[in-house]
Structure 1
Amino acid sequence: MNFISTRSGAPATSLDDALVAGLAPDGGLYVPASIPPMPALAPQPSLAATAQRVLMPWFGGSRLRHHLGALCADAYTFEAPLRPLSGDGDHVLELFHGPTAAFKDYAARFLAGALSALRQDGDTDTEIVVATSGDTGAAVAGAFHRRPGFGVTILYPEGRVSPRQAHGLECWGDNVRTFRVAGHFDDCQRMIKAALGDHDLRERRRLASANSISLGRLLPQMAYYAHTAIAFHAEHGRTLGFIIPTGNLGNACAAVLARRMGLPVGDIVLACNANDTLPRYFDGADYAPQTTRATLANAMDVGTPSNFERLRHWHADDTALRAALTAVAVDDATIRDTVRAAPGRHGIVPCPHTATALHALETLRASGDTRPWAVVATAHPAKFDTVVEPLVGYPVPPPPALAECLKRPARGTPMSADADALRDVLLAQEEPVD
């Protein structure tokens, strides 16, 4: 299978090369030249089994094809349970049961295994460069920590993540370096893209991306949507819609891609915070990136969603794209109200990001919508204790893996919001590329 750039200025390439490169040479995002249809699939016994079946069509011609079963078994060691919410027959898809308590654990672990399997004798070390608005960096750090042949450089916006998120980004050491950038997430993202697009730098350092721009993040995230949708359809004879908290659109793009394969994924709602680039576009305004605003749902503080390029590529025009998805913006006051009411109303304690999706669900129900929906819970509420606990009025214990993480010492290094600053850091550990 071949993969092409969303900007049409780079030659088609293989999955293996696209995984290693991260970003296309013309600055675009890799997408499949065609989307393979998925034959009707019966419910599988585990998330790992579903992942292997759904991902197999994408790995034709890949050196990873014969490793796919092992990659899935290693990455999807924790399930993604669909649990009922109190009240109206609604559901929550819990994606926070991994080692860093966020949905990004699944794909980060798959990507780490895939890039390890693609290494060849004599390869120099690969530096994984990643921008994070809170959760991606920890998941990537955990997946690549002490993995031979890899280093990790994490950039995060100083003061714009929760204290526990910051600790989770800075507590690794060894082959992981963490930098606190004096700016916002879009600055971090811009710096990473500049490094990946710097041909001189890439001749001197072997770089790869672990952000949602990477196919190695996009494709594995289809698994939990496929697994949940197939099981729900088999049991109820209806498609299940998903309300997805989103910032950079990577997780939502995975749901869109699963649906385009023909899997029984229902309607998709994008739940955003006050950074309303997407809601304004889906309401009919021109697409216009904006300066990022800091919110309680900080992992979604993105004013220029990178994966919007993929959505536009997959749809004929703006009319078709607006017909395929809807988006809502949720401000901080509403997030607070939703978190405060959720234990009594829905039977769960949500993180601020999940709260945006819960509010979207409540709005749909108030409008008379009777379709089955699953709210996607993207992170454990204990990662946001300073926000959540005062609202619900009691402590939210961290899951065991997060508790262990919080016991380790943490250290980050300040960095200016300047692409040259990142370039200098990467070249300071220069290792010639073969």
Structure 2
Amino acid sequence: MKYFSLNNRENTSNFENAVVKGLAPDKGLYFPEEIPGLPKEFFDNIDDLSRSEIAFEVIKEYIQDEIPGKDLKKIIEQTLDFDFPVVPVEKNIGVLELFHGPTLAFKDVGARFMAGCLGYFIKKGNLGNVTVLVATSGDTGGAVANGFLGVDGIDVVILYPKGKVSEIQEKQLTTLGQNITALEVNGTFDDCQDMVKQAFLDEKIQKKRRLTSANSINVARWLPQMFYYFLAWKQLKDKKEELVFSVPSGNFGNICAGLMAREMGLPVKHFVAANNENNVVTRYLKTEKYEPKPSVHTISNAMDIGNPSNFVRVLEIFQNEFKNLKEVLSSYSFNDEETRKAIKEVYQKHNYVMDPHGAVGYLGLREFLKENPQYYGVFLETAHPVKFLETVETSIEQKIEIPDSVKSFMKKEKKSEEISTYEDLKAYLLQ
């Protein structure tokens, strides 16, 4: 499988180079030259397939012989060693719980898969040390830190916005040590992301370090997110209604993976991109004008992104045709007050506790179902509510149980370095 740059289709790469480099030489995102369809037999026989077998069939054509089948299967098994249940909430609404992994967030899937792929390529090619440079608005940092912890040949440097991630999120990325370094940035997530992008363009840094990114711009982080849409469909395939997924959307890698799964043949008719007040895509679908704006801080902080990197991939899936995109994708946005109210009402009516991101997904789904009641809707609960303890507990006016795994790392000491400018980052990477 070849991948091309979305900045220039003449710039192509194989899977290995796309994973190791992260971005194309022209700094465009890589996109597969074709989206392989899955045969009817795959869907007919999905009940007979395990999680890992489903994922292998989904991903294998994107990798082909660059990772031998037995090695790829091992990576997948290590990635998917936890559950992905769809839990009923209301009459025609269910929730896909993606928080049963080690860092209690959906990003465990992409981070673990990428760590496995990158680790394989480093061993195979004697690449020397690779530095994974990543910006996080919340859960990416913890998932990447956990996924790459102790992997030979890999150093991880994580940038996160000071005071704009939850305490648990911060602890998850600042307490591991070993090959993980956390840089606390005086600024927003967009500032963190801009610094990372600038570092990739900096020749001095490139001569000193072999950089790659573990944000969803990396194909090995982005594509495996397709897995859980297939795993959810396996649980829902006997529903008489059409299916719609509502995805809390920040950098748009997750929903883009869902749309890729649909292109491969997954029988899901529609998707909802649920935004908080960082609603550039909601506005785009109303006006056909794409106008990024500086991000604003919200209680659903992992979605506080003013210029989502992966939206260019979403547009590519639909050949940059606005009409085609509108047929498959809807988008709605909600403020913090509406989010808190949804958390409280769903708990009171249905005894289900949502985190702020899941609540935004739920609100987007309810909005869509008002006009389209013939659908069965599934919203994605992308993180365990305990990761947003203060917000959730004040919303439902109840204490929530803290998992033992969280209690253990909350006792650990935070270790981070504070930076304010790109020059600070550059100095760290060159030291």
- Is contact 1:242-1:375 (8 Å) kept? yes
| Residue 6 (1) aligns with residue 6 (2) | yes
| Residue 297 (1) aligns with residue 283 (2) | no
| Residue 271 (1) aligns with residue 274 (2) | yes
Give the match for residue 22 of structure 1. Answer: 22
Give the match for residue 35 of structure 1. Answer: 35
Give the match for residue 431 of structure 1. Answer: none
CA distance in 2, matches of 1:335, 1:397: 21
Give the match for residue 50 of structure 1. Answer: 54
Query: Per-residue CA shift, 1:347-405, capped at 9, x if unaligned?
Result: 31100010111112222344452301101000000000011101111111233333322
Amino acid at match of 1:352: P
Among candidates 283, 290, 312, match of residue 309 of structure 1: 312
CA distance in 2, matches of 1:285, 1:37: 30
Among candidates 344, 349, 352, match of residue 348 of structure 2: 344
State the shift of 1:241 in Å: 1.4
From the superposition, tell whether residues 265 and 404 of structure 1 become closer, same or farther in structure 2 (CA, over 3 Å). farther
Name the count of aligned residue pairs: 425
TM-score normalised by the chain length of structure 2: 0.95
Among candidates 346, 356, 361, match of residue 357 of structure 1: 361
- Is contact 1:272-1:328 (8 Å) kept? yes
CA distance in 2, matches of 1:324, 1:89: 20
Amino acid at match of 1:291: P
Query: Per-residue CA shift, 1:44-72, capped at 9, x if unaligned?
Result: 54322211111112112413544111111
- Is contact 1:83-1:91 (8 Å) kept? yes
CA distance in 2, matches of 1:422, 1:340: 41
State the shift of 1:321 in Å: 2.2
Give the match for residue 432 of structure 1. Answer: none
Give the match for residue 94 of structure 1. Answer: 97
Give the match for residue 382 of structure 1. Answer: 386
Query: Per-residue CA shift, 1:291-324, capped at 9, x if unaligned?
Result: 1100010010000000011112222322322333
From the superposition, tell whether residues 262 and 398 of structure 1 become closer, same or farther in structure 2 (CA, over 3 Å). same
Q: Structure 1: where are the runs of 5+ without partners?
A: 429-434
| Residue 411 (1) aligns with residue 415 (2) | yes
Amino acid at match of 1:77: D
Query: Per-residue CA shift, 1:58-89, capped at 9, x if unaligned?
Result: 1124135441111111110002111111x313
- Is contact 1:382-1:398 (8 Å) kept? yes
SS at structure 2 position matched to 1:60:
helix
> What aligned pairs does 1:54-69 form with structure 2 within 5 A after superposition?
54-69=58-73
From the superposition, tell whether residues 63 and 368 of structure 1 become closer, same or farther in structure 2 (CA, over 3 Å). closer
CA distance in 1, matches of 2:209, 2:68: 24
| Residue 109 (1) aligns with residue 117 (2) | no
**What is the aligned-residue RMSD (CA, Å)?**
1.6
Give the match for residue 423 of structure 2. Answer: 420
From the superposition, tell whether residues 239 and 14 of structure 1 become closer, same or farther in structure 2 (CA, over 3 Å). farther
Among candidates 160, 166, 169, match of residue 165 of structure 1: 169
| Residue 221 (1) aligns with residue 195 (2) | no
Amino acid at match of 2:51: L
Amino acid at match of 1:153: V
- Is contact 2:332-2:367 (8 Å) kept? no
CA distance in 2, matches of 1:56, 1:243: 26
CA distance in 1, matches of 2:403, 2:82: 13
CA distance in 1, matches of 2:404, 2:39: 39
| Residue 327 (1) aligns with residue 335 (2) | no
SS at structure 1 position matched to 2:8:
coil
From the superposition, tell whether residues 320 and 266 of structure 1 become closer, same or farther in structure 2 (CA, over 3 Å). closer
CA distance in 1, matches of 2:268, 2:207: 42
Among candidates 206, 210, 220, match of residue 206 of structure 1: 210
Query: Which sits farther off after the overlay, 41-50 or 267-276?
Result: 41-50
- Is contact 1:230-1:263 (8 Å) kept? no
State the shift of 1:37 in Å: 1.0
CA distance in 1, matches of 2:231, 2:428: 41
Amino acid at match of 2:62: W
> What aligned pairs does 1:222-237 form with structure 2 within 5 A after superposition?
222-233=226-237, 235-236=238-239
- Is contact 1:43-1:227 (8 Å) kept? no
Among candidates 246, 257, 262, match of residue 249 of structure 2: 246
- Is contact 1:213-1:250 (8 Å) kept? yes
State the shift of 1:9 in Å: 5.9
CA distance in 2, matches of 1:319, 1:420: 43
Query: Which sits farther off after the overlay, 35-44 or 14-23?
Result: 35-44
Amino acid at match of 1:129: L
CA distance in 2, matches of 1:61, 1:48: 18
- Is contact 1:252-1:270 (8 Å) kept? yes
Give the match for residue 76 of structure 2. Answer: 72
- Is contact 2:86-2:235 (8 Å) kept? no
| Residue 174 (1) aligns with residue 178 (2) | yes
- Is contact 2:242-2:374 (8 Å) kept? no
State the shift of 1:121 in Å: 5.8
Query: Per-residue CA shift, 1:108-139, capped at 9, x if unaligned?
Result: 01110111111136432111111000100000
TM-score normalised by the chain length of structure 1: 0.94
Amino acid at match of 2:295: T
Amino acid at match of 2:31: V
SS at structure 2 position matched to 1:50:
helix
- Is contact 1:47-1:224 (8 Å) kept? no
Query: Per-residue CA shift, 1:256-315, capped at 9, x if unaligned?
Result: 110111122231000110111110001124100001100010010000000011112222
